[in-house]
A and B are shown apart, each in its own frame.
Chain A
Amino acid sequence: MLLVSLGLGFVGILPMLRSATPPSVEVPKWPRVRVANVTDLQQGTPKIFTYPLEDTPNILVKLGKRVEGGVGTDGDVVAYSQVCQHLGCFVRFLSSSQQSQSPGKDIFYCPCHAGTYDADDAGQILGGPPLYPLPQVLLQYDDTSGDIFAYGMGPPVIFGKGPPGSTEAWMDLVGGTLVGGAST
């Protein structure tokens, strides 16, 4: 009798354990959102915007030189995740004139442990403890209006959204509220 009731109770508890495991979610499509207009951007002055979720910040910056992946009339506007790939602090943009540790380069610099990434070249690591480059925001330029849109993120996954360095960029979309609405 006791064993039976204990067994039944145990079976009854099992479904509740589901609440302790992450719910499976459908991965949404990458949203397409306007992040700025070229006329708002000044060379070397970064702008922070969140994408693809409300709490994943990125830095948009007009570098003043044509780079790979750059958009805009001069092909010099880029955006990268602001979340450092070392331990998840928030990096800041420093132009080549604002810093001397990587001469001639525009960098993203993390104040926590001095991780440094190349803003001119795909967010590659220039120094410090990070193990993976900064994820780049995929941008689109509309030359009639001058608007810049974000429509996706390149690998690796934003720090904290999945196993570090994973190339499964879709994980960026899970666990939070998509910019402009739906929660995932």
Chain B
Amino acid sequence: MTQVQAVAKKRSRWNALSEWFDTRLGLANTILRPVPSYSLKPDYWLGAIAFLAFLICGFTGILQLQYYVPTPDAAYDSVQHFNEFVPYGNLIQSVHLYSAFAMIFFAFAHMMRGYFLSVHKRPRELMWVIGMLMGLSALGMGFTGYLLPWTVLSKSATDISIGFVNQLPDPFRSFLMYGLTGSGADGDLLLRFFALHTVVLPAVIFVLFAIKLHMFEVHGVVKPEGNSAPAEVRLIPWFPRIVAYMLLLASIVGSAILTIAVLFPFQLPAKFTYEAAASATPTPEWYFLWAYQILKFSVFEGQLGIRLALVLLAAIMAAFTLLPFIDRNPRRAPRQRPVYVTVGAIAIVEVFVLVIWGSMTPGMTIPAVQGVLVLGCSALATICILFVWHRQVVHPSEMLYERFLARKERQPSPETTQESARGDAPGSGS
């Protein structure tokens, strides 16, 4: 048998095996259909990366679950024990933490990419809504997970968030307070957050993921718009190229998380005691600092202020969730929707400004004038930069492109050439 024949035989065995599975699973007809070649760019896979980070969180979370004790007296000690005495405990906790950060960061990046490229438009409106619900659930995972080690920072920060709920008018207050804290005792609070973090929210995310994946398979990848639109779409089968591409992305993200986890291992803050809480200024994790900073503006003090702030935050979330029904402009290319692109750019800039600012001013009330000034100036700066960028970069190239098109239209037809020559004649003749 020659070498070629041997390879061919090996291949056919592999083919037989994969065919056997595919006849039964049918995956080649559903989620493993060939993928258009233009989608082999990392920005098409941001959502997949976020979901990969979620899976890593699930894996490391299950390991931690073997040791965790969800009672106020024992929670901290069980986390500390896992951290210090269980082999690789600290690494597992660090990977869990940074995967959670990665999940939230890539989910945000995935959302903003979709916003700018108009993926929320017909027929993908409900994909956007489901995606937003998944993102909010991911934030809920972060919020509930923060409490579980029962450290002085995390317990106090959770108390503050619940304190906001406590300031709502009554049917909402009593309903939400009961939902989040049960009777109000610490044990109830911890048990509820534990159930939400380990059972309810992961289940919600999995169900929403299944629905979204189904819709994705029906509607497919969003085609790039405008100048970057491909002339013809080439389809690439899943095996081996897409699998290799996914493995490449996954290993880049995974090793990045691992590297960060090794370089900056998770350090357990002090245990929660009433004495320690009285001298610590609690802050939320970075992904809530933007909301934290807004809530510290002096206009949002007092009961009415707190209610207003909560309504404002809920309205921002609702507006983003229901974006497909607000932004009904059918055009998709970013340059054809300047208002939404500007609003999106301002939103990103403000989130970064608020997060950095919030980390610099823990526990300090921000005077309203200062808040308006900082947010206003950064918004104005964003608008200016976008305007200049449009005039200097986008607009000239567009004009060139249009001029090129115009010339192309003029040249091939001899009639137009004659007409223009005739038209030119009086001028040149005089």
Contact = CB atoms under 8 A, between A and B. Distances in A.
B185 A55 contact: yes
Interface of B: 72, 156, 159-160, 162-164, 166-167, 170, 173-174, 177-178, 181-186, 188, 274-275, 277-282, 296, 301-303, 363-365
A111 B281 contact: yes
Given A48-B275, A89-B160, A160 B281 contact: no
A2 to B, nearest CB: 26
B159 A164 contact: no
A160 B188 CA distance: 14
A176 B184 contact: yes
Nearest to B155: A90
B163 A160 contact: yes
A55 B363 contact: no
A57 B272 CA distance: 13
Contact of A111 (B182, B280, B303): B280
Given A114-B365, A129-B301, A176-B185, A55 B72 contact: yes
A159 interface: yes
A161 B184 CA distance: 7
A112 B278 CA distance: 9
Interface in A90-112: 90-92, 111-112
Contacts of B164: 87
Given A164-B166, A175-B184, A131 B302 contact: yes
Contacts, number: 87
Given A55-B72, A111-B363, A22 B178 contact: yes
A28 interface: no
Nearest to A109: B278
B159 A113 contact: no
Contacts of B181: 160
Contacts of A161: 184
B156 A112 contact: yes
A164 B184 contact: no
A88 B167 CA distance: 11
B282 A89 contact: yes
Given A131-B302, A159-B166, A111 B278 contact: yes
Given A89-B277, A112-B156, A160-B163, 16 more contacts: A21-B178, A55-B185, A82-B278, A87-B160, A88-B162, A89-B156, A90-B156, A90-B278, A91-B278, A112-B363, A114-B365, A129-B365, A160-B181, A174-B183, A175-B183, A176-B183
Contact of A177 (B156, B185, B301): B185
Interface string A19-39: 001100000000000000000
Contacts of B281: 111-112
B302 A88 contact: no
B274 A90 contact: yes
A163 interface: yes
Contact of A112 (B182, B282, B301): B282
B163 A87 contact: yes
Contact of B183 (A21, A22, A112): A22
A182 B410 CA distance: 93
A92 B279 contact: yes
Given A55-B72, A86-B163, A164-B167, A113 B365 contact: yes
14 contacts: A48-B275, A87-B159, A87-B163, A88-B160, A88-B163, A89-B277, A90-B274, A90-B278, A111-B363, A113-B365, A159-B166, A175-B183, A175-B188, A176-B185
